[in-house]
A and B are shown apart, each in its own frame.
Chain A
Amino acid sequence: MNRRKYLKTLATGTIATGLLIDACTLPNTPKKEVSNLGGMDRQPEEIEHFNRISAEKYFDANEMNTISSLSDIIIPKDDISGGAIEAKVPDFIEFIVKDKPQYQLPMRGGLKWLDMQCLKLYGKSFSNCGKKQQIEMVEQIAWPLKAKPEMQQGVAFFNLMRDLTATGFFTSEIGIKDIGYVGNKPNQWDGVPQDVLNQYGMKYDEKTLKECVKFDS
């Protein structure tokens, strides 16, 4: 059903407030990625918390460089979408460790562990290593089941880094488009599309079709 028809449906017999119209136009309006709390319902204590942690800086420049490199190694640009840096994943990670302080020690310690490994192997920190050396290092900690026992602390750190990168990426505007989530907009749910039902050999039985909500097409 197209949007015009939807609006018409809503406008007849139900309320058609400004808010509702706003809600309907939202998905079609290009939205800027926001780093503040604009437009979201917030309580004073939430705003105070946000302002306080936003004013702080947790990671130093070297740590941020390493986070950026790792995030783009974990989620690089490919044929479908841009990479983690383009999706501003490092900024998200800086925010979330301040919002969830339980991440601070594992992240800071893990980054230091990584630098010390690189120092031993290559004589320099991770961010000063070339791409080839960085990948060599990552290879040692990216595969939990085949990593060497002495690499397990690195594996734990990389698992966390992978989690935060993936969450940061797939909740960004780029990532949502990539993953193919097409909801979050007014619509009328009329069941699983027929071609999908066919694909799985499923169908709605007569009782279901009879009793479930129907829409004027």
Chain B
Amino acid sequence: MSIEVRDLTKRYGEQLALNKISFQISKGAIVGFLGPNGAGKSTTMKILTGFIPQTAGVAKVAGFDTVEAPIEVKRRVGYLPESNPLYKDMYVKEYLHYVATIFQLPNPIAKVNEMIAMTGLAKEQDKKIHQLSKGYKQRVGIAQAIIHNPEVLILDEPTSGLDPNQLDEIRKLILKIGKEKTVLLSTHIMQEVEAMCDRVIIINKGGIVADNLTSNMRKMGIKEAIVVVEFSNKINLDELKKISNVQRIEQGNTNDYKLFLKDSNLDIRHEIFQMAVSHGWSILAMQMEERDLEGVFKELTNK
């Protein structure tokens, strides 16, 4: 296990920031850590990187306990904190070289050049950090996090505030790095998790509300399935109601209908087609309505 968290609790004075959360992340996985602001994402990450200790529970990274062996943990973790703090008055190269000396890497100059090539900073390497655009600053932030070849990479909102092009580039970079490392990244954008992660852990008010494979994400929290069908003419609504498992039907503006089913695992498209054929209705369009990800997110975190 690259990351192991058991009954992790963190209290800031009276406020309970994390309430007995547990999860495990195996080596090589990219996991999305999702939740609204103030849910406890950053707190969990700060504990995993050894910045602050937990109030109770156990956190292990790369096999080392974050409280008992913080130095060992810190050697094996690459961390990009929220809002990507960098020394703005340093040159890109100078900064990365400083990070390399912090980790006491042999041959730091070669390592810095390798990172610059890997993160696509070649053109910007002789600039001061404050001169860079936000996208390039983010690349510097990622470069400093992976320079010591850590086993685990913890990225706190790595894509917040980027424009769509930068977003795409940073996501590609994270995916490239993620092939060899365990990555835990936090975000509050569902699409991002879908684009990058194998697994998603959704956290709300200090507790885990969902932990599932990304492919199952759209089904999470869904209680009913919806089929939308559009006909060329007006049809007899009562006939449609005869199909089994249909709970209710909503009629749209034109000849389109929404059929609500009891169970999210049901599919009645075949039955609808058969009925249309037998009544001579022509179907213009028909689809199972996919729940939008924002809806899932809202449902899970609005309790």
Chain A partners chain B: no
A interface list, Cβ under 8 A from B: none
B interface list, Cβ under 8 A from A: none
